Chain A
Amino acid sequence: MAGVIPTSLSSGKEEDGANRNRAALRRVFYGRSLRSLSVGFWVMVIAFLMIRLSPGDPVRIALGSEATEASVAEMRHKLGLDQSIFYQFYRYFINIFKGDLGYSYFSNRSVTSVVTTHLPVTLMIIALSIFLGILLAIPIALFVALSKNQVTTYLFRAFTSISLALPGFFLAVVGLYFFGIKLRWAPAAGYEPGFPGNLQFIWLPALVNCGSLVPVLSRVLHSSLMDTLDEEFVETGVIRGVSKIRFYWSYLLRPSLAPTVVLLSYMIGVMIGGTVIMETIFSLPGIGRELITAVDSRDYPVVQGIVMIFGLIVVFFSFIGDLLGYLLDRRVTLS
């Protein structure tokens, strides 16, 4: 099989293909970054406006009806609320980049320290939920997609739509009753920092959180798998006689994974919401419980700071998800 065209023709442009790949990736990267930065900016604006635009005077509500005019004025001054709204935003914006998210109304804690102390616990629960979710969703979706039995698909649809309609907080309470009170497999409350010691406290909340993740992930993955199975290149894989593992990974899962990964990153927001409730139910010292405490005591700077951080986390993960989706499958066109 002699070469028809001498390879020397292209030897000068050895790195060209890789370069072109990198250029396309760079374009996607910058485009997505720009968008995420703009959304991130608006997240900060909205979090800022939350206090300013809320009906009623937040300071008066926070201090209670017995507060004197003088103490209200003092609090206003302390919060900088007596200055122009643009100056206030300027200060707020600059402070965020200095790592200063303001101070709690009632304790001397800085919001930054509240976040750095409690966020890791929350992220740990979310990470474990996602890990369990993927672990369950992939085999389920593969099994249903490859099963030729119509009944399997029907049952799958029914189960996923029912489990999506079940309230997570109620399932958590039921789980607490069975595993915490009846079987004593999980501690009903308490926490111990550090991996893997914390797993015994967070496995149940993470599992309940999966209840909203697995149906969504497995459904999307199932439908992309069905699309992939109809594609011609799957046949190519069969004909080439690639190994079973390689076939499942390179010819079925990888081409189907992109929508699921993108969706997973969008599900971070739902996961955060679920985790906040789980922390309350299982008395876990995460940032969600801090949020609920702050809401109950009307500690506005803490609420504002936590909400903004959560917003930025979602923006960040959507960005990562979009990029990963693109890397997994170059066919994905990003809108």
Chain B
Amino acid sequence: MTIVNTKARKRMREGSFGLYTGFTMILTLIVAGAIVPWLSKYDPNAPGGTPIARPSGAHWFGTDLLGRDVFTRVFDAVFIDLGTAIIGVSIPLVVGTIIGTLLGISRSKRVNSVVGSIIDGINAFPFLIFVIALIAFIGPGIPSIILALSLVNWARYARVARTRAVVVNQQGYVEAARILGFSKVRILFKHIIPNVSSETRAYALSDFIIVIIAVAALSFLGMGTPPPQAEWGAMIRDGTQILALAWWPTIFPGLALCWAGVAVAFVAEGLQRRLRETNSK
């Protein structure tokens, strides 16, 4: 008994270590994002001060070409970057899960083959390319990024959800609920969707890393927030232009982005491992 216990506890600890590290990293970022711009004596967006000043006591991360404090700007960007990514993952998660589930339990062959083909067609496009193209048509900006991400990504969630829904729909408890005469809507929301969404939510976790990076990459390409709003990708873009003169306006927002990506990766891996363990029990 004791052997089994310590083993299980050890495994738990291994999984939890990454999870707690990741959570702490995200929390630090969010707290800093809330506090730093508020406490800082510098305006994140207004030009002023010495341009391209090296990191010092006054400017911990130095200043950029317009003399703005890079430290304040890096943390001012937290909510724009994380927020866009969260919304950009949530909308396709919900839409894709619902469409995929309905497709999975639908008996109509025609609906399945047409919508299935559209899903396959959308998924065939390289993700970033398709998003960039859509932004070309709907114009740049954060709302456009979110809209483009949703238009592209729902299909990936729908594919995951459909496969899962076909399986769930044949499970005993769904059959039982049907025999008991529960309404279709009730069965759908009480039994099928929760079981399908456990799968799509796991997928959303790893997708979140990709989307955080994609949001910054789109801004880097000049398709995100208009200046002067601080945003990591845009800051890296601006910094690259003076890279030969100064590294700090580029490196610090980049490190913040890496920090966010790695934090989410740790959380995703920890949660997925936990999910696997509870499933295997």
Contact = CB atoms under 8 A, between A and B. Distances in A.
Interface of A: 38-43, 45-46, 50-51, 54-56, 58, 61, 161-162, 164-170, 173-174, 176-177, 181, 268-270, 272-274, 276-277, 280-281, 291-292, 294-296, 298, 300, 303-304, 306-307, 310-311, 314-315, 318
B124 A276 contact: no
A110 B264 CA distance: 44
Contacts of A269: 124-127, 129
Interface in B224-281: 233, 236, 239-240, 243-244, 247, 250-251, 254, 257-258, 261-262, 264-266, 269
Contacts of A56: 138-139
B126 A174 contact: no
Contact of B121 (A42, A58, A268, A281): A42
A201 B217 CA distance: 22
The B contact surface, by secondary structure, is: helix
Nearest to B144: A55
B128 A162 contact: no
A187 to B, nearest CB: 13
A209 B280 CA distance: 36
Contacts of A270: 126-127
A314 B209 contact: no
Nearest to A271: B126
Interface string B114-142: 00011011101111111011111111000
A276 B125 contact: no
Contacts of A51: 137
A150 B121 CA distance: 42
Nearest to B220: A169
B236 A177 contact: no
B273 to A, nearest CB: 10
Size range of the chain B interface in the assembly? 35 or more
7 contacts: A43-B121, A46-B125, A169-B236, A273-B127, A294-B136, A295-B135, A315-B124
Nearest to A313: B126
Contacts of B233: 169
A314 B261 contact: no
B220 A277 contact: yes
A134 B46 CA distance: 48
A70 B213 CA distance: 43
A143 B239 CA distance: 39
Q: Which 5 A-B pairs have the closest CB atoms?
A: A42-B121, A273-B128, A54-B137, A165-B261, A269-B126
Given A42-B124, A269-B127, A315-B124, A165 B262 contact: yes
Given A165-B209, A303-B133, A176 B243 contact: yes
A181 B124 contact: no
| A41, A161, A166, A170 — most chain B CB neighbours (10 Å) | A170
B251 A165 contact: no
B216 interface: yes
B134 A50 contact: yes
Contacts of B269: 161
Given A170-B236, A273-B129, A276-B128, A46 B118 contact: yes
B222 interface: yes
Contacts of A166: 258, 261-262
Given A39-B124, A167-B257, A170-B236, A272 B129 contact: yes
A174 B254 CA distance: 9
A54 B133 CA distance: 11
Nearest to A312: B124
B257 A300 contact: no
B149 interface: no
Given A167-B216, A169-B220, A310 B125 contact: yes
Given A295-B132, A295-B133, A295-B223, A177 B125 contact: no
A177 B250 contact: yes
Contacts of A318: 124
Nearest to B134: A50
A296 to B, nearest CB: 7
Contacts of B220: 169, 277
Given A273-B126, A295-B132, A303-B133, A162 B265 contact: yes
| B129, B134, B262 — most chain A CB neighbours (10 Å) | B129
B120 A298 contact: no
B167 to A, nearest CB: 14
